[in-house]
């Protein structure tokens, strides 16, 4: 596909990854028709604040909109979910029945909050999830009405909701099936540090515990949460923070491989179920299951803010390069990073701590709010996590970037580069996911 043509590009997903992809398409000289489809009836907004200041701000929450560049000249189809993809006809069908033809497509539909298991009785009114803007307003109103609050799942999202609610003075119980919060994402040492932060702040943390069901009052609304140890906790509101599920329902029957996220090659081109590359279709953000060099090429989805930005831009570069090998960018190999805010402490990480088989604690000072842990896999650095030591994170990040550049050139300069693709990824089950909104 050549820039400056009369072709039509369609971006499905109007959040961070989709918007950054659209912006990059224009910045790279695409002058044809650009359509952005979004299932929510509002312009793009930033998700990290939804579990932070949107819940805690005294006044009406504001300043969360994402800037749309003046030169974007996109046709917006907001409030219309994509419901079907036809690869042969090259069309995307919207909920209202409209069919959008495309010459190139960006799949950036993100993820949804994992719900209560369908095999169990449905939860009563008062049991919430948090993913989008409307969810955040409902939760904000519930917190304003007072507690007690029970948060189910102590990942990034659950931890931030618990912290926000404690900050508002609510009684908060945080229930986690694993032995520590964030255990799968960052290991037991960092998890225990986070557990201590929660307990110091007055959160009743119940680890190694699962939720059996809900208690209802005479009005049919939530009254409490039943735990697997036989006890019950009183609750005015409960939040399910059980992680994210990639939004791939609209791809059913398309022929794409989309279990656990849309399978991509190292340049973010999407794959059919037989592993072959689909021309002119790329994916980015939470929905994209991409080979991760730091996890030996295992395909993972990453629900991080920076991942959405960097994959959106990289997917645009791949799409515009089309089948011209001279313009093909190298494999996507940005260094992942995330942050999370808990009780006035910011946890930051680079790399993929979840891929580690060994952690090395460099500094551990709970009272001084300092923490520095490096993560290794087969003896090689794969990630780092800090509290109060952001300056040290830059060195880890540089080391990881050098590692990724050694054998597969990353995106980053804004120029297209060529590189040999890394070895094919194994088709293992989806790995650990971070939760949505991006923490």
Partner 1 sequence: MQITVDMNLCESHGQCVFAAPEIFSFDDDDRLVHETTPSDALLDRAERAAALCPVRAVTVSPAVP
For partner 1, the binding residues (CB under 8 A) are: 46, 48, 67, 305-306, 309-310, 313, 335, 337, 339, 346, 348, 350, 388-391, 393-394, 397-398, 401, 412-414
* CB 20, min distance to partner 1, A: 8
Spatial contact of 278 and 319, defined as CB atoms under 8 Å apart: no
* CB 348, min distance to partner 1, A: 7
* CB 390, min distance to partner 1, A: 5
207 vs 311, which CB is nearer to partner 1? 311
69 vs 115, which CB is nearer to partner 1? 69
Query: Strand 277-283 relative to strand 104-107: parallel, antiparallel, unpaired?
Result: parallel
Name the H helices within 100-220.
Answer: 133-144, 156-167, 183-200
Cα separation, 348 vs 415, whole angstroms: 28
281 vs 308, which CB is nearer to partner 1? 308
* CB 279, min distance to partner 1, A: 28
What's the chain's Rg over C-alpha atoms? 22
133 vs 339, which CB is nearer to partner 1? 339
Spatial contact of 50 and 138, defined as CB atoms under 8 Å apart: no
Sheet with 91-94, strands from edge to edge, namely 82-86, 91-94, 99-101
* CB 34, min distance to partner 1, A: 19
Q: DSSP class of residue 428?
A: P
107 vs 393, which CB is nearer to partner 1? 393
Cα–Cα distances (Å) from 192 to 183, 199, 259, 265, 358, in that order, read 8, 10, 32, 36, 16
Q: Smallest Cα–Cα separation from 308: which of 26, 10, 18, 36?
A: 18
In 3-state terms, what secondary structure has residue 149?
strand
213 vs 412, which CB is nearer to partner 1? 412
CA atoms within 13 A on the CB side of 402: 8
Q: Smallest Cα–Cα separation from 161: which of 366, 436, 353, 386?
A: 436
* CB 372, min distance to partner 1, A: 12
* CB 386, min distance to partner 1, A: 9
CA atoms within 13 A on the CB side of 12: 30
* CB 101, min distance to partner 1, A: 31
212 vs 402, which CB is nearer to partner 1? 402
Structure tokens at 373: 């842990």
180 vs 292, which CB is nearer to partner 1? 292
């Amino acid at each position: 596909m050549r820039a400056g043509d009369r072709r039509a590009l369609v971006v499905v997903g109007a959040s961070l990854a989709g918007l950054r992809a659209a912006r990059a398409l224009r910045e790279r000289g695409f002058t044809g028709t650009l359509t952005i489809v979004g299932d929510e009836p509002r312009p793009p907004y930033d998700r990290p604040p939804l579990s932070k200041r949107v819940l805690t701000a005294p006044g009406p929450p504001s300043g969360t909109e994402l800037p749309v560049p003046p030169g974007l000249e996109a046709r917006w189809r907001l409030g219309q979910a994509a419901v079907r993809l036809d690869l042969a006809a090259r069309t995307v069908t919207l909920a209202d029945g409209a069919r959008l033809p495309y010459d190139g497509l960006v799949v950036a539909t993100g993820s949804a909050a994992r719900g209560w298991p369908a095999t169990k009785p449905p939860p009563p009114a008062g049991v919430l999830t948090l993913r989008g803007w409307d969810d955040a307003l409902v939760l904000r109103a519930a917190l304003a009405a007072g507690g007690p609050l029970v948060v189910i799942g102590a990942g990034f999202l659950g931890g931030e909701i618990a912290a926000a609610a404690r900050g508002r003075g609510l009684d908060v119980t945080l229930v986690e099936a694993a032995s520590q919060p964030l255990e799968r994402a960052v290991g037991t040492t960092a998890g225990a540090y986070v557990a201590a932060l929660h307990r110091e702040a007055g959160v009743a943390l119940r680890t190694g515990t699962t939720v059996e069901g809900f208690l209802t009052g005479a009005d049919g609304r939530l009254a409490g949460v039943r735990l697997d140890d036989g006890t019950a906790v009183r609750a005015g509101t409960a939040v399910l923070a059980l992680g994210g599920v990639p939004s791939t329902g609209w791809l059913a029957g398309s022929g794409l491989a989309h279990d656990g996220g849309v399978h991509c090659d190292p340049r973010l081109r999407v794959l059919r179920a037989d592993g072959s590359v689909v021309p002119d279709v790329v994916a980015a953000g939470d929905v994209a299951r991409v080979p991760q060099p730091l996890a030996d090429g295992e395909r993972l989805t990453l629900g991080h803010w920076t991942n959405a930005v960097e994959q959106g831009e990289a997917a645009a570069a791949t799409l515009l390069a089309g089948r011209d090998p001279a313009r093909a960018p190298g494999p996507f190999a940005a260094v992942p990073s995330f942050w999370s805010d808990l009780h006035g402490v910011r946890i930051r990480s680079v790399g993929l701590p979840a891929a580690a088989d060994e952690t090395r604690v460099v500094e551990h000072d709970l009272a001084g709010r300092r923490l520095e842990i490096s993560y290794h896999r087969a003896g090689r650095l794969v990630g780092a996590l800090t509290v109060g030591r952001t300056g040290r994170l830059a060195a880890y990040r540089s080391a990881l970037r050098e590692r990724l550049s050694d054998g597969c050139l990353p995106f980053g300069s804004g120029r297209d580069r060529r590189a040999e693709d890394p070895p094919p990824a194994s088709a293992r089950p989806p790995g650990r996911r971070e939760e949505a909104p991006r923490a």
